Amino acid sequence: MATVSSFEGLRQPRASDLKQFCELFEPLFAASSDEARRQAAAALARSPNVPPSVALQIGSAPIAIAALFLTRAMAIDERVLLDIIRNQSPAHANTIARRDKLSVRVVDALVERRDSAPGRDASARPAETPETDVTRTETLLTETLTTEARAEAAATATREREERLRAELKALTRTVGQPLQAPAAPPRRALLSLDATHEALLVRFSRSGEVNLFAATLSHALDCSAVFGERLVLDVSGWQLAVTLSALGTERAEMVRMLTRLYPYLSERSGAATRCDALLDGIDPLEARNRVEGWIAADAARRDGGQRHAPVLGPERAEDPRQPTTYPSPANQTQQVVSTFYRRTLHRGAR
C-alpha cells in the first residue's frame, strides 16, 4: 500500500516512474494477501495513470479482487480488456460488461465470448414458461416507463429554460429605443477667492520648494480633499495649477512666481515671452472658475461615494513595510507643520 500511495501522489508520472512502479508492484502484489491486493486494486481504480502490465495483473486476479478495478478503473487500455475477456473466466467478462463506456471492439469481444460459451445452443436452453413471459413483459414495461419519464423531465427542463430566455429577451426589447437617463450632475458650490493667509503660505512654500506643504495648503484653501491638491500639483505641465490659481483670483505676478518655482522649465523663454506667460495667456478666468468648481464637485461626489484614497502624507495611510519603523511618520509631521503655520498666521492677523 505504501508503494501504491506514493504512486498516487504523482500527478504526471514520467516513463521512468511508471517503469519503476511496475518493477516494484508486480512481485509485491503476487506475494500479498487477498485483502491487501483488494485494497491496492481499489486504490489504483482511482488513478488515471496505471501501466498496462499492472492493469493486466490486477484484472487477471480472482474476480473477488479484480471486480472493483474492472468496473471503475478508467485507465485500462482496450488491449488489456480484450486480453482479460478472452483469457479469463466469464465472471471477468460480465464484470467488464458493467463498465460505463465500452468501445466497439470490446463489445464485439463480449458478444463473441457469450456466444462461444458452452451450453449456448438452442437445445440446451431452458423451456420458457408463462411466468417467464410475464416477468419479461413487466421488465420491458418498467424500462419503457422509465425512459418516458426521463424524456418528459428533459422536455420540461427545456421548456423552462426557453421560457426564461424568452422573458429575458422581452425585458431587453422593452429597453430598446428608450432614451438613457443622463447621470445627475454633482452639486456645485461657489468658489471663494484666495485670502491673504493662504496666498502668503502658498508663496512661502513654493519658494522653499515644500511641494507637500504647498499641496496641503492648496487643498485647505479650496476646502477639498488632500488628494485633489496633490493631483493639481502633480500635473507636471503646470496647467491645472495655473487654472486653479487663476480661478482663485491670484495676481498674475504671484502666479508667475509660484509656477516658475514649482516648475522651473516654465521660466524658459519662448520667443518674446516665457513659457509661463504663454500658459497664463491661454487661460480665461471665468472659464477657469467654472472648470475648478466642476473639479471640486466631482471630488466631493467621489468622497461621498465611499471611494477612499490614501494620499502620500495622509494620516490614515498604512505604514510602509519597506521603511524602518524608527523614522517619524511624515504625515504627522506635515499635519503639525501646516497646523502650526495656520495658528501662527491667524494669531498674528488677530493682533
Identify the pLDDT of residue 349. Answer: 52
Least Cα distance to 217 among 86, 342, 92, 314 occurs for 342
User: For residue 30, what is the DSSP state?
Assistant: H
Identify the pLDDT of residue 321. Answer: 58
pLDDT class of 330 with cuts at 50, 70, 90: very low
The answer to whether the CB of 220 falls within 8 A of the CB of 198 is yes
pLDDT class of 114 with cuts at 50, 70, 90: confident
Nearest-5° Cα angle at 251, 249 to 291: 35
Distance CA 53, CA 61 (A): 13
Identify the pLDDT of residue 305. Answer: 59
Identify the pLDDT of residue 326. Answer: 47
Element holding 14 (H helix, E strand): none
Residue the block writes with cell 423552462: 160
Which residues have C-beta within 8 Å of that of residue 144, sequence separation ≥ 6?
A: none
The answer to whether the CB of 81 falls within 8 A of the CB of 104 is no
Q: Looking at 113-122, 213-222, 287-296, 316-325, which range is the least confident one? A: 316-325
Task: Determine the average pLDDT of the residues in 128-138.
Answer: 52
Identify the pLDDT of residue 308. Answer: 54
Task: Determine the average pLDDT of the residues in 310-339.
Answer: 54
The pLDDT of residue 160 is above 50: yes
The answer to whether the CB of 231 falls within 8 A of the CB of 211 is no
Which residues have C-beta within 8 Å of that of residue 325, sequence separation ≥ 6?
A: 319
C-alpha to C-alpha distances, 233 to 219, 238, 295, nearest whole angstrom:
10, 7, 14
Identify the pLDDT of residue 103. Answer: 81
Distance CA 246, CA 277 (A): 13
Q: Looking at 148-157, 258-267, 290-299, which range is the least confident one? A: 148-157
The answer to whether the CB of 98 falls within 8 A of the CB of 68 is no
Identify the pLDDT of residue 122. Answer: 44
The answer to whether the CB of 293 falls within 8 A of the CB of 192 is no
Distance CA 194, CA 214 (A): 14
Distance CA 95, CA 101 (A): 13
Q: What sign has the CA pseudo-torsion 111, 114, 119, 122?
A: negative
* Complete DSSP assignment for 260-314: HHHSGGGGSEETTEEHHHHHHHT--HHHHHHHHHHHHHHHHHHHHTT-----TT-
* Higher per-residue confidence, 255 vs 143: 255
Least Cα distance to 215 among 203, 204, 207, 227 occurs for 227
Distance CA 233, CA 208 (A): 15
Which residues have C-beta within 8 Å of that of residue 244, sequence separation ≥ 6?
A: 218, 222, 232, 288, 292
Identify the pLDDT of residue 342. Answer: 53
pLDDT tens, residue by residue, 266-310: 888 888 888 888 888 888 888 988 888 888 888 887 776 544 555
Biggest CA-to-CA distance, the chain: 130
